[in-house]
């Protein structure tokens, strides 16, 4: 079996799928890419059993066949080759792969393609179409707030909730929660699924820069995302998602409106002086200003700044984890944000003041107990 392909085009496609390959896979064959040649088309598949990415590109060939190619050695070879046509020759009896370039020849040992795990088929699936721009923004706003603790599997993914009026994405780790809702995407048949964080991170990194349609199909076991020449298939998290609506406080009479960039830059400076375990920063709000402060008693470090704001409600002090606030503010793009609060022991709600009419973003962050210092 033989085919010719551009070295840079091949490397680009390999890089787009290689993120799924685990460093120590349970099944050794998964250290390989699956190459399938069908005349002038090359299909490349990479998998870790939970998530599979498939991409296609054009090649010069008149043959049909398949082989498993060692991923790391192939990528490392192509990274160090200048752009040029490279010729692959595969001995179908021994699975030895010879790569010919202008610089020289490289020989590596492949494996039998029949040993590569079979890809799940789409059966009894529901379908919804969404633009890559909307999906990318939804994932940017939610992935960061998922849990990394495997003891709570449901929280390690993003909850997709479809109904006749909107598509809602939810993520939480128990300390913060993000609800991102789009009213310009809907489904005739209501459904809800939990998609793992790793799969969504790979999906976000694979989405095209230009706005393209993405087909999202799912059944009880798997989700299938298709766009351009790429497909991503992942196993869903089979757990019950927490009742997130119940933790969102409805009565929040204390409202702070402030420039997002000013607060973001202030927190970056002040958090340097916060305790390295709690990352606690204090917000003290009175009238038209907020005092942002932090201290680390172990090292006698402290800092405070004052920012202009619009605050309505009773004067109050509340403590937050600076890392959580920074991540949330970094993922918003509104010039002004609102933080709505009730009392220092209850969650604060962060909303962008300016937003797309088709989207609704709500970010919830739990407070941290304030140390009593003045």
Tell me which residue of 77, 72, 81, 87 sits closest to 1, measured CA to CA.
87
Domain positions in the chain are 2-115, 126-244, 248-365
Out of 80-84, 230-234, 352-356, pick the least confident. 352-356
Q: Is there a contact between 33 and 74 (Cβ–Cβ < 8 Å)? A: yes
pLDDT tens for each residue of 54-92: 999 999 999 999 999 999 999 999 999 999 999 999 999
Q: What's the pLDDT at 356? A: 86
Three-state DSSP class for residue 294: strand
Instruction: Identify how many contiguous H helices and E strands the chain contains and give both numbers.
Output: 6, 25
Q: In sequence order, what are the beta bridge partners of 360? A: 181
Q: What dotted CATH number matches 2-115? A: 3.10.150.10
pTM of the model: 0.91
Residue 372, pLDDT > 70, answer: no
Exposed/middle/buried for 6, CB within 10 Å: 0-12, 13-18, 19+? middle
Q: Across the chain, what does the average pLDDT equal?
A: 94
Neighbours of 73 (CB within 10 A): 14
Terminal CA-to-CA distance of the chain, rounded, Å? Answer: 76
Residue with tokens 């927190």: 267
Neighbours of 336 (CB within 10 A): 16
* pLDDT, average across residues 309-335: 95
Name the pairing type of β-strands 280-286 and 348-352: unpaired
Percentage of residues in the chain having pLDDT higher than 90: 89
d(CA 274, CA 293) in angstroms, rounded, equals: 8
Identical topology for domains 2-115 and 126-244? yes
Tell me which residue of 196, 192, 175, 200 sits closest to 241, measured CA to CA.
192
Q: What dotted CATH number matches 126-244? A: 3.10.150.10
State the Cα angle at 169 between 235 and 367, rounded to 5°. 115
State in words which class domain 248-365 has: alpha beta
Residue 47, pLDDT > 90, answer: yes
Residue 53, pLDDT > 50, answer: yes
Residue 24, pLDDT > 90, answer: no
Interacting residues of 357 by C-beta distance below 8 A, sequence separation 6+ = none
Q: Is there a contact between 37 and 90 (Cβ–Cβ < 8 Å)? A: no
* pLDDT, average across residues 193-197: 97
Q: What's the pLDDT at 374? A: 46
Q: What's the pLDDT at 121? A: 84
Structure tokens at 105: 């020849």
pLDDT tens for each residue of 235-277: 999 999 999 999 999 999 999 999 999 999 999 999 999 999 9
Q: Where are the alpha helices (DSSP H) in the chain?
A: 7-17, 71-79, 132-142, 197-206, 260-270, 322-331
Name the band, by pLDDT with cuts 50, 70 and 90, for residue 371: low
pLDDT tens for each residue of 128-175: 999 999 999 999 999 999 999 988 999 999 999 999 999 999 999 999
Residue with tokens 């998922």: 146
* pLDDT, average across residues 202-210: 92
d(CA 122, CA 116) in angstroms, rounded, equals: 19
Residue with tokens 């939810």: 170
Q: What is the CA radius of gyration of the chain?
A: 25
Residue 98, pLDDT > 90, answer: yes
Structure tokens at 55: 């991409």
């Amino acid at each position: 079996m033989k085919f010719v392909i551009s070295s840079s085009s091949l490397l680009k496609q390999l890089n787009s799928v290689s993120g799924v390959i685990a460093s120590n896979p349970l099944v050794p064959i998964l250290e390989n890419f699956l190459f399938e040649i069908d005349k002038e088309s090359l299909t490349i598949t990479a998998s870790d059993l939970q998530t599979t990415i498939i991409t296609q590109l054009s090649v010069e060939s008149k043959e049909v066949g398949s082989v498993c190619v060692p991923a790391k050695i192939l990528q490392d070879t192509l990274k160090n080759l200048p752009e040029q046509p490279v010729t692959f020759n595969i001995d179908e009896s021994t699975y030895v792969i010879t790569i010919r370039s202008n610089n020289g020849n490289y020989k590596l040992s492949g494996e039998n393609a029949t040993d590569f795990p079979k890809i799940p088929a789409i059966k009894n699936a529901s379908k919804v179409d969404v633009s890559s721009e909307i999906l990318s923004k939804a994932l940017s706003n939610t992935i960061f707030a998922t849990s990394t603790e495997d003891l709570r599997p449901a929280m390690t993914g993003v909850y997709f909730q479809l109904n006749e009026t909107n598509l809602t994405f939810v993520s939480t780790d128990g300390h913060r929660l993000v609800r991102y809702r789009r009213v310009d995407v809907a489904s005739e048949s209501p459904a809800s699924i939990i998609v793992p964080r790793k799969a969504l991170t790979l999906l976000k990194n694979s989405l095209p820069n230009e706005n393209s349609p993405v087909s999202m199909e799912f059944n009880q076991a798997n989700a299938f995302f298709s766009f351009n020449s790429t497909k991503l298939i992942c196993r869903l998290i089979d757990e019950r998602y927490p009742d997130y609506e119940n933790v969102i406080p409805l009565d929040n009479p204390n409202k702070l409106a402030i420039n997002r960039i000013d607060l973001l830059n202030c927190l970056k400076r002040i958090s340097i002086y916060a305790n390295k375990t709690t990352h606690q920063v204090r917000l003290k709000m009175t009238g038209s200003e907020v005092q942002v402060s932090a201290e680390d008693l172990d090292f006698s470090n402290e800092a405070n700044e004052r920012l202009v704001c619009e605050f309505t409600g009773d004067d109050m002090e509340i403590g937050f984890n600076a890392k959580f606030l920074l991540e949330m503010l970094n993922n918003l793009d509104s010039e002004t944000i609102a933080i709505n609060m009730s009392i220092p022991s209850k969650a604060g709600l962060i909303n962008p003041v300016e937003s797309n009419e088709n989207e609704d973003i709500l970010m919830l962050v739990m407070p941290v107990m304030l140390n009593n210092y003045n």
